[in-house]
């Protein structure tokens, strides 16, 4: 029997694999994250950690775990930029994530943002709720058509491909940019060329040093004043200051964001930017998907502790 730290209360059924395996679960009560010092202390005497993307598992946390008996960290998220992978690798601690199970759910949300940003859903609803809407008007809330538009996907992993499948139903022309030729029709080697051609750009790249501020002032300018930007990937992929400026200046038409550079802080100029839909990082937030993500993380923990290699291992 191993001792597993679970950093938050998980969706119902999420810890089933740990329970079935008979492991001892040490769980943080409630929804507030450990602060850094608490996390460093909490990993001292556990074999595994099941954590969330809001837990910063840096080299100090990993070193503290390694001084004890920590063998595996499983992130209940597909992105793992919150974990120092190099340090984990160095200390021989396995890191796992949750690829695959959230693709369709996240693609649904990307499409919600594509539609809502293009059709000005948020500000139209705000006006209805506030009483500012005084009746139908022929020049009100004039958005951009999604059907038959050119969709530019930046990143073409499982989630990008799932968004492309949805776009087919809207008769969209889909282009995608990835670091390597995907061999799939629509592949566009030059990011600049994709940004110039797309009416709507949706981001599906992981956050790393290559993708940080991938979309900045120059890229927004290439997209042009009729373009819509959607980000369900990671906030720092977009230079928020540049985006806020472009939205206020009208040099980009609209934006739909689910992720932010400094969550939960939102850039103040995004909060009052026109044509902007802001969601609180809910890409994978359905009951079924979140439970599956937690289960997948727990299964990976069990596999590593049993001496097996889980398919969702991030470290080598
Ligand atoms: C969510 O953002 C995830 O990476 O799973």
The single residue of 71, 176, 177, 234 carrying the catalytic annotation is 234
Q: What is the pLDDT of residue 31?
A: 85
Chain mean pLDDT for the chain: 98
Closest Cα to atom 3, ligand 1: which residue? 77
3-class DSSP assignment, residue 10: coil
CB 2 within 8 A of CB 24: yes
Q: What is the pLDDT of residue 298?
A: 98
Closest Cα to atom 1, ligand 1: which residue? 77
| Whether 281 is catalytic | yes
3-class DSSP assignment, residue 129: helix
Q: What is the pLDDT of residue 144?
A: 98
Q: What is the pLDDT of residue 223?
A: 98
Residue % of the chain over a pLDDT of 70: 100
CB 31 within 8 A of CB 310: no
Q: What is the pLDDT of residue 30?
A: 81
List pLDDT tens digits, range 67-112.
999 999 999 999 999 999 999 999 999 999 999 999 999 999 999 9
| Whether 263 is catalytic | yes
Which pLDDT band holds residue 29 (cuts at 50, 70, 90)? confident
Residue 29 or residue 212, greater confidence: 212
B/e letters for 131-147, b = 16+ CB within 10 Å, e = fewer, are eeeeeeeeeeeebbebe
| Whether 69 is catalytic | no
Q: How far is the CA of 82 from the centre of ligand 1 (A)?
A: 10
Q: Is the pLDDT of residue 166 over 90?
A: yes
83 Cβ closer than 6 Å to some ligand 1 atom: no
Residues facing residue 154 across a β-bridge: 177, 203
Instruction: Tell me the mean pLDDT in the region 288-307.
Output: 98
78 Cβ closer than 6 Å to some ligand 1 atom: yes
Q: What is the pLDDT of residue 94?
A: 98
CB 174 within 8 A of CB 200: no
Helix H or strand E segment including 268: helix 268-271
Helices 121-130 and 103-118, axial angle in degrees (round to 10): 70
Q: Is the pLDDT of residue 171 over 90?
A: yes
Q: What is the pLDDT of residue 48?
A: 98
Instruction: Tell me the mean pLDDT in the region 184-188.
Output: 98
In the chain, % helix, strand, coil (3-state, to 5) comes to: 35, 15, 45
CB 291 within 8 A of CB 12: yes
List pLDDT tens digits, range 108-131.
999 999 999 999 999 999 999 999
Strand order in the sheet with 150-154: 173-177, 150-154, 200-203, 228-231, 254-257, 276-278
Residues facing residue 140 across a β-bridge: none
Helices 103-118 and 158-169, axial angle in degrees (round to 10): 50
160 Cβ closer than 6 Å to some ligand 1 atom: no
Domains of the chain: 3-101+287-305 (3.40.50.720), 103-278 (3.40.50.720)
Backbone phi, psi, residue 34, to 5°: -65, 145
């Amino acid at each position: 029997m191993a001792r597993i730290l679970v950093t938050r209360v998980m969706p119902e059924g999420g810890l089933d694999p740990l329970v079935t395996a008979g492991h001892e679960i040490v769980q943080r009560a409630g929804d507030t994250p450990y602060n850094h010092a608490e996390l460093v202390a909490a990993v001292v005497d556990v074999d595994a950690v099941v954590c969330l993307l809001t837990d910063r598992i840096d080299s100090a946390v990993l070193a503290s775990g390694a001084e004890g008996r920590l063998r595996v960290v499983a992130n209940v998220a597909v992105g793992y930029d919150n974990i120092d992978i190099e340090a984990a690798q160095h200390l021989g601690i396995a890191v796992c994530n949750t690829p695959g199970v959230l693709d369709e759910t996240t693609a649904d949300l990307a499409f919600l943002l594509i539609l809502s940003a293009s059709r000005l859903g948020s500000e139209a609803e705000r006006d209805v709720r506030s009483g500012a809407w005084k009746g139908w008007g022929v020049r009100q809330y004039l958005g951009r058509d999604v059907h038959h538009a050119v969709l530019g996907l930046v990143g073409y992993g499982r989630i990008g491909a799932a968004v492309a499948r949805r776009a087919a139903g809207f008769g969209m022309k889909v282009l995608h940019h990835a670091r390597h030729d995907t061999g799939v029709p629509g592949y566009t080697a030059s990011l600049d060329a994709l940004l110039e051609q797309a009416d709507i750009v949706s981001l599906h790249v992981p956050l790393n040093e290559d993708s940080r501020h991938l979309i900045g002032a120059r890229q927004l300018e290439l997209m042009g004043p009729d373009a819509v930007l959607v980000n369900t990937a990671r906030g720092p992929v977009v230079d928020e200051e540049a985006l806020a400026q472009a939205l206020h200046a009208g040099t980009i038409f609209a934006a739909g964001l689910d992720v932010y550079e400094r969550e939960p802080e939102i850039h103040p100029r995004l909060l009052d930017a026109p044509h902007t839909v802001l969601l609180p990082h809910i890409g994978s937030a359905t009951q079924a998907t979140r439970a599956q993500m937690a289960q997948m993380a727990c299964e990976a923990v069990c596999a590593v502790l049993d001496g097996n290699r889980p398919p969702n291992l991030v470290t080598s």
